[in-house]
Structure formats: C-alpha cells, structure tokens
Copies of this chain bind each other. A is one copy, B any other.
Amino acid sequence: MPRPTIFDVAKVAGVSIKTVSRVVNREPNVRTSTRERVEEAIAVLKYRPDQSARNLASHRSHLIGLVYDDPAAYDMPSGGYILDMQQGALKGCRSAFSELLIHPCDFRKKNVGIELKELIEETRPAGIIVAAPLSNMPKIVRAIDATGTPCVRLSPGNDLGKKCSVSTNDREVSAEMTRYLAGLGHTRIAFIKGNPDHKAVANRFLGYQDGLKESGLEFSENLVAEGDNSCGSGEACAEKLLKRKKPPTAIFAANDDMAAGALRVANRMKIDVPGQLSLAGFDDIALARQVEPALTTIRQPLVQMAERAALMLTKNNNGDSNGNAHDIIPAVMKIRESTGRAPE
C-alpha cells in the first residue's frame, strides 16, 4: 500500500489539493469547516507530506549547516568539542524535523569565505551554525551574511552585525577560577593567553584580570604569556613563566591544550603538580582527564549551546524585535587533581 499523497487527502475531504496544501501549511483564508474536514482526512489516511516534493516546489530546505574549524586539518587535534557541538546540533535538528549538514574546514585558509559561500549556494541550507574561531572572523561572518542565510554564531558578543549568537560566560567563570586559585593561597597566579583571533579565549583573559582584582591581587604583565592555543605553545609559555626569578605558583591557561603543555614542562622540570605548582585549563577536553595529574578545568556547555543554536534557526520564536538574540549558557568549573594549596 503506497504512501498517501495530497491527492488522496483531497479526494477524501472533497476539496482540491491546493486546499489541502493550505491546511497543511496553516495558511490563512480557509473556512473552519473546510479545515476540519481536511484535517480529518489527513488523520484518517495518516498523510505525511513528502519533504522532497515540498522542498522542490517551495525552494526551501530543512537543512541546518554546522560549520567549524577542523583541527585535524592542521594536526593540532583536540577536536572532542566538535563531537559535543555535533551532538547538540543534531538534537536540535531532530526535534525540528530538520537535517544537519556538517562542514569542517580550515580557518587558516585564505579562501574559507569563498568556500562557505559556495557551500551555501550548493546546499541552500535553512540556516547556518558557525563555531569559533570562524564565528569571530569578520570575513567569514560577512561572507555568510552576503548569502542572506540566517546564521547563529557560537561565540560571545553581538559585535559582528545583527547576527544571533549563543555563548558561555567565559569572562565570569574565568574570574571564578582565578578567585578559586587565590582562595587556595596563591598570590602569583600566571595566565597563558590564547590565540587572539578567538574572542572567547580573549574574554578568559579579561576574566582572569577581574578575578585578580576581586581577590585583591595585583595584575602583572610578568605573569602573562601569549600562546596560540596549541599544546606546544603552552610548553613554551610555561617554560618562560617558570624561569622567572619569581615564578608563579599557579598557572591558569586559556585552554586545556596549553595547560597540558604546561604540565609537560612541569614534569620535565620535576616540579610537582599540584604540590609546587597549581595548573588550571579551560574546555575540559578528553586530555584533561587523561593526563597525570588530571587537570582542573572549566567545562563549556557545548551540547546545549549547539542545540540552542539549532533551535534558534529552525523555529523563529526567538530574538528581539530586530530578530536577533544573544543567549548565554553558563559554564561550570571542574576541580580535579592539578590544583591545590599554594606552597609555603
């Protein structure tokens, strides 16, 4: 028994297919009595519109694109967070009967903008979710804007045009982590900054400064090093910091990869963690639990963030009067073995 079509419904309800279409799409100007008759026929036949035919005729799709930088592309792979995003986006799409199109790309390439433009033109998605660091690149955001496709940035702030965004409270939670370290008695708390392209990572540095101030500690440029988010840069930064005449007793790195690098350095220099040095990261990547000692870090609610983003694109019950919304979902601290009381 083949699946019923709009014609079958029309025949049963005694109307034209167009009227059925109107009912299905909740268009106005259908008499209530007619609508009810059609709805009954739909129920009786268990009619479900064919998505392909709908898409074809309406020139719309139910595709949501998820665009992210693929660290595997340049061999700096801590891509666990990508799976979280995918999971969240998938969940959001499912609940809205949409499909998810994943698109990993290399944010360092000159022509990512063009690549995305082509992707959008090829697949015509109903919306795009852009993850950091791509979501912080004006070039990228502009390229997507130019196609007119709705877009949600997984990134803090509303600085880049009127786009919607979903982000976490990087700054606040980083301040919290800093206060936590201060609370353990640390007075020389160093910070390893990340790639400045990455807006969220930059906010973590601001949070660090907030936290120092709130704890009555002085900020010093001598306790700051600038990495590029990679494990290797974390090593370099930690070495620099630990070779100071007055080395820090705690290092807070803007991400876990760099914190892991710092841990390697500590191991090499035979500095006990957390006995002599406390170490904290950010992101809660798999590695954070696998190194010895396990890293204290901060977990972003990426699954929920991506789900939220997908929902913002599939329903349009969100956003302010201008049609944009900026959701913030708070992160949580994960205290593990790498942080402890400051040494004497």
Contacts and interface: CB of A to CB of B under 8 A. Distances in A.
The secondary-structure label for the interface of chain A is helix
Contacts of A118: 46
Contacts of A267: 267, 292
Nearest to A103: B90
Contacts of A86: 102, 104
A272 interface: no
Contacts of A290: 231, 257, 260, 264, 287
A183 interface: no
Contact of A48 (B83, B102, B122): B122
A77 B70 CA distance: 17
Interface string A103-115: 0100000000000
Interface string A52-63: 111110000100
A79 B83 contact: yes
Contacts of A121: 3
A30 interface: no
A134 to B, nearest CB: 16
A114 to B, nearest CB: 12
Q: What size tier do the contact residues of chain A reach? A: 35 or more
B52 A56 contact: yes
A257 B291 CA distance: 11
A80 B257 CA distance: 14
A292 B267 CA distance: 9
A72 interface: yes
Contacts of A231: 290
Given A77-B83, A79-B79, A257-B290, 13 more contacts: A3-B124, A50-B56, A72-B83, A78-B286, A83-B83, A86-B102, A90-B102, A99-B99, A99-B101, A102-B102, A264-B291, A264-B292, A286-B287
Interface of A: 3, 46, 48, 50-56, 61, 70, 72, 77-80, 82-84, 86-87, 90, 99-102, 104, 118, 121-124, 231, 257, 260, 264, 267-268, 286-287, 290-292
12 contacts: A3-B124, A51-B55, A52-B54, A70-B83, A70-B87, A72-B83, A79-B83, A83-B104, A90-B104, A99-B99, A264-B292, A287-B287
